[in-house]
Amino acid sequence: MREFRPGNFQILPPVIKNLLIINALVFLAHHPFAPTASSQTMENLFALHTWQSPLFKPWQFVTHLFMHGSWAHILSNMFALWMFGSVLENVWGAKRFLIFYFVCGLGAAFCHMLVLYFETNSLLNNYYALSEHFNVSSFTNFYSKENIGNYYDGASELLHQWQQNPSDMSAAQQSMMLANRFITDRLNEGTLGASGAIFGCLVAFGYLFPNTLIYFYFFLPLKAKWFVLIYAGFELVMALQNSAGDNVAHVAHLGGALFGFLLVLFWNKNNRRTFY
């Protein structure tokens, strides 16, 4: 097992440092200590929305990379960015690393948007079918297909009330309002975070330094190549399960990994023997 010791190694190289600063500033603007209406406005403008959403704007492919949903989200992402990205930037230099980071981020977003497009089309088709023949049976099918009960408190009680009394017009109206609200919320749901780009960095690190030990949960030593394969396998399983309420863009992670692997494979095509 060889050790990697690059010359002029920087613990906080310039691109990583600036990415950390920008992400932190955007997070503080998005999540002020006192909640304000501007937080939702900012998310509507800069988080990534599906192509079918009225909130979609082309610049969101880039801006969503600098937004995060919670302290845990940004801290875990920024730690991973520093841990793996700083090594890559020291190896490649600032320009190449910056190109790599955005290729992975944009590739992850593109893969996520493709899947989201087909999911949203299916959702809209189910909604149009419900609207054409709206009754307790069609609403029950829509409710079950889209797992609406996972999104709203009291939804199951409303469904049960209408099933018990199909002629209850109040329950019917409330159910239609719930379906409309669900469609609006799903269309306007934003995706945010740099996880796709960071997953690309993780894959590049695992490819270039497969035998370097990573301390899983700061305790269990695991070679980088096994860590990446296990993590990618987990993301694949979760993406295939596509469980409602998961709220994690697993396909974006896999997309970032794919673009990162292909790019580092291309850049390293003349050096397939030096691994650490």
Q: How do residues 48-100 score in pLDDT, each as one tens digit?
A: 999 999 999 999 999 999 999 889 999 999 999 998 999 999 999 999 999 99
What's the CA gap between 88 and 92, in Å, rounded? 6
Do 101 and 85 touch, CB atoms closer than 8 A?
yes
Higher pLDDT, 142 or 6: 142
Whole-model pTM: value is 0.86
Q: Tokens 């590049």 label which residue? A: 204
Q: Are residues 53 and 139 in the same domain?
A: no
Q: Fill in the amino acid letter for 202.
A: L
Residue 179 contacts residue 127 (beta carbons within 8 Å): yes
State pLDDT tens for residues 8-32. 678 899 999 999 999 999 999 988 8
What is the pLDDT, as a whole number, of residue 1? 42
Alpha-carbon distance of 159 to 91, in angstroms, equals 58
Task: With a cut of 60, say whether residue 247 has pLDDT above it.
Answer: yes
Using one digit for the tens of pLDDT, what is the confidence trace for 194-243? 999 999 999 999 999 888 877 765 567 778 888 888 888 888 887 777 65
Q: Check whether residue 72 and residue 175 sit in a common domain.
A: no
Q: How confident is the model at residue 34 (pLDDT cuts 50, 70, 90)?
A: low
Q: Are residues 110 and 149 in the same domain?
A: no
Average pLDDT over residues 126-150: 91
169: in domain: yes
Tokens representing residue 102 in the block: 């955005």
pLDDT of residue 239: 74
Distance (Å, whole) CA 226 – CA 237? 16
Both 78 and 23 in a single domain?
yes
| Distance, CA of 44 to CA of 56 (rounded, Å) | 8
The residue range of the domain holding 154 is: 135-187
List pLDDT tens digits, range 149-182.
Answer: 888 888 999 999 999 998 889 999 999 999 999 9
Encoded tokens for 188:
């306007």
Residues 109 and 23 in one domain: yes
Residues 221, 158 within the same domain: no
Judgement on whether residues 108 and 197 belong to the same structural domain of the protein: yes
In a domain, 125, yes or no: no
Task: Say whether both 96 and 207 belong to one domain.
Answer: yes
Q: Which two tokens stand for residue 232?
A: 């990618």
Same domain? For 154 and 73 the reply is no
